[in-house]
C-alpha cells in the first residue's frame, strides 16, 4: 500500500518535505481489529508537534494521521461492532485498557495505557489502517468524508473543551485562535448557549473576518481587550502569549481551558509576564484538555449531525501531504485541512 511516513524528527522551518512516500505491506487486522480503507484524513497541528519532536512517534519511520475516515475492508477475529463496507471514523484515541478507574468512569482519555492514533499506533496517512474496533465510530450520513474528518479530533476535542469550560447560557465565551477546532466550537456554542456572546481573538485579519461570518459577536487581535470580561476562554493556539493575554480578559472566577497536546517553545518567555494580581487573582482557573475520550467522539458526531455543524474544509490530494503540513505551519489556517486519498 502507499503510505506517507515520517523518517526522522525535523524542524519544519528548515525542512519543507518531512514525509516520504513509500510502499508498505497492507496491514492484516488482528483479534478485535478492523481493516479500514482510508478515504480521507485530517491534517492536525498535533502532526506538527510529532514531526518536530514535542510529542514524537513511538518509533521511526512512522505513519502519522489521526482524523481518519474510511470503509471497513476486512474484519479481524472476534470482531462484532462493525460490518463490512461500513463507513467509520477513527480519532486520536486509538487504545485504552477499558478496565482502569478512568476508563470505567468514561474518561478513557486519562487511561495510563492510552495510545494515540498516528503517534503510538499507525495512523491514516496511508491507503489502509488496522484499528481496534472499539475506537472506530460510525459516521453520520449527512457528512462527506472530508467534512467528517475534522469532526473526529478538532470537533471532538472542542466539544470536550466546551464542557470543561462549565459555561452557563448567557455567560460570555472567548475563543483564542481560530483554526480547525475553534471554528467548530463557535458553531457548537451558538447552539448550546444561544444567549452567550462569543468573542474571538486571532492574529490574522482573515481569521477574524471568518469568525464574524460564522456568528462571532466580536473579533480582535490576540492582545486586544474584550468588550466585557469573559466567563471562560478556550485557547487553541500553539503559543504561550495568547494564554497570558486570555488570563487578562477573564472575569473573576473565570476559567481558561487550554486545548492543546503541546505548546511550542518559541515564546515560552512570555510566561515571565504573568502577574499574580492581573492574571490569576480572584479565583481564576487554568484547565488543560488531555487527549480525547471515546465518548467525546460519539457524542459530538451525533450532536454535529443534529445541529448541524458545517465544517469549513480545504482539501489536498494525498500526494500534497507535505504542502498541507507546510501551509499549516505557515499559519494558513482557515477551517480544517484534509487529505483525500
pLDDT tens, the chain, 341 aa long = 999 999 999 999 999 999 999 999 999 999 999 999 999 999 999 999 999 999 999 999 999 999 999 999 999 999 999 999 999 999 999 999 999 999 999 999 999 999 999 999 999 999 999 999 999 999 999 999 999 999 999 999 999 999 999 999 999 999 999 999 999 999 999 999 999 999 999 999 999 999 999 999 999 999 999 999 999 999 999 999 999 999 999 999 999 999 998 999 889 999 999 999 999 999 999 999 999 999 999 999 999 999 999 999 999 999 999 999 999 999 887 899 999 99
Chain centroid to CA 253: how far? 27
Cell of 37: 480503507
- Tell me, rounded to whole angstroms, the distance of Cα 278 from its chain centroid: 30
- In three-state secondary structure terms, 64 is coil
Residue 182, C-alpha cell as written in the block: 475553534
pLDDT recorded at residue 333: 79
Q: What confidence tens digit (pLDDT) does each residue in 237-272 have?
A: 999 999 999 999 999 999 999 999 899 988 999 999
Maximum CA pair distance of the chain? 59
Question: Which residue from 35, 36, 25, 34 is spatially nearest to 3, judged by alpha carbons?
Answer: 25
- Give all domains of the chain, ordered by start, each with its CATH number: 2-153+291-340 (3.90.180.10), 156-288 (3.40.50.720)
**117 closest CA partner among 194, 178, 33, 202:** 33
In whole angstroms, how far apart are CA 201 and each of 80, 165, 192, 218, 325? 45, 17, 20, 9, 23
Closest CA to 176 of 195, 155, 161: 161
Residue-by-residue DSSP string for 87-148? EEEE-SEEE--SSSHHHHTT-GGG-TT-EEBTTTB--SSBSEEEEEGGG-EEPPTTS-HHHH
Q: Mean pLDDT score of the chain, rounded to an integer?
A: 97
Closest CA to 289 of 149, 103, 138, 92: 92
DSSP 148-206: HHHIIIIIHHHHHHHHHTT--TT--EEEES-SHHHHHHHHHHHHH-TT--EEEE-SSHH
User: What does DSSP say about strands 115-116 and 93-95: parallel, antiparallel, or unpaired?
Assistant: antiparallel
Count of other CB atoms within 10 angstroms of residue 27: 18
pLDDT of residue 320: 98
The pLDDT of residue 161 is 98
- For residue 310, the model assigns a pLDDT of 93
Residue linked to cell 484524513: 41
pLDDT recorded at residue 16: 94
Measured in whole angstroms, the distance separating CA 171 from the mean position of its chain's CA atoms is 24
Q: What 3-state DSSP class applies to 297?
A: helix
The pLDDT value recorded for residue 154 is 97
What is the predicted pLDDT for the residue at 221?
97
Question: Cα-atom radius of gyration of the chain, to the nearest Å?
Answer: 19
Amino acid at each position: 500500500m502507499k503510505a506517507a511516513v515520517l523518517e526522522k524528527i525535523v524542524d519544519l522551518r528548515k525542512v519543507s518535505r518531512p514525509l516520504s512516500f513509500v510502499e508498505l505491506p497492507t496491514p492484516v487486522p488482528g483479534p478485535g481489529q478492523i481493516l479500514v480503507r482510508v478515504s480521507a484524513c485530517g491534517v492536525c497541528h498535533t502532526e506538527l508537534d510529532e514531526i518536530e519532536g514535542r510529542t514524537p512517534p513511538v518509533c521511526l519511520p512512522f505513519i502519522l494521521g489521526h482524523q481518519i475516515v474510511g470503509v471497513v475492508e476486512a474484519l479481524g477475529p472476534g470482531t462484532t461492532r462493525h460490518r463490512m463496507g461500513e463507513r467509520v471514523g477513527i480519532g486520536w484515541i486509538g487504545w485504552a485498557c477499558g478496565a482502569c478507574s478512568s476508563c470505567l468512569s468514561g474518561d478513557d482519555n486519562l487511561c495510563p495505557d492510552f495510545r494515540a492514533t498516528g503517534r503510538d499506533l499507525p495512523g491514516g496517512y496511508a491507503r489502509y489502517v488496522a484499528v481496534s474496533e472499539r475506537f472506530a465510530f460510525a459516521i453520520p450520513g449527512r457528512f462527506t468524508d472530508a467534512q467528517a474528518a475534522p469532526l473526529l479530533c478538532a470537533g471532538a476535542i472542542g466539544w470536550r473543551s466546551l464542557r470543561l469550560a462549565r459555561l452557563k447560557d448567557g455567560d460570555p465565551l472567548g475563543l483564542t485562535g481560530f483554526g480547525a477546532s475553534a471554528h467548530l466550537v463557535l458553531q457548537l456554542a451558538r447552539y448550546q448557549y444561544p444567549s452567550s456572546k462569543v468573542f474571538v481573538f486571532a492574529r490574522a485579519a482573515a481569521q477574524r473576518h471568518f469568525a464574524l461570518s460564522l456568528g462571532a459577536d466580536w473579533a480582535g487581535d490576540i492582545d486586544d481587550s474584550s468588550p466585557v470580561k469573559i466567563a471562560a476562554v478556550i485557547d487553541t493556539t500553539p503559543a504561550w502569549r495568547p494564554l497570558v493575554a486570555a488570563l487578562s480578559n477573564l472575569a473573576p472566577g473565570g476559567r481558561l481551558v487550554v486545548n492543546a497536546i503541546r505548546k511550542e517553545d518559541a515564546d515560552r518567555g512570555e510566561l515571565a509576564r504573568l502577574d499574580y494580581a492581573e492574571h490569576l487573582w480572584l479565583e481564576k482557573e487554568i484547565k488543560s484538555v488531555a487527549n480525547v475520550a471515546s465518548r467525546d467522539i460519539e457524542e459530538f458526531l451525533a450532536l454535529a449531525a443534529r445541529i448541524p455543524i458545517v465544517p469549513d474544509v480545504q482539501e489536498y490530494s494525498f500526494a500534497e501531504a507535505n504542502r498541507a503540513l507546510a501551509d499549516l505551519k505557515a499559519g494558513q489556517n482557515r477551517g480544517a485541512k484534509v487529505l483525500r486519498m
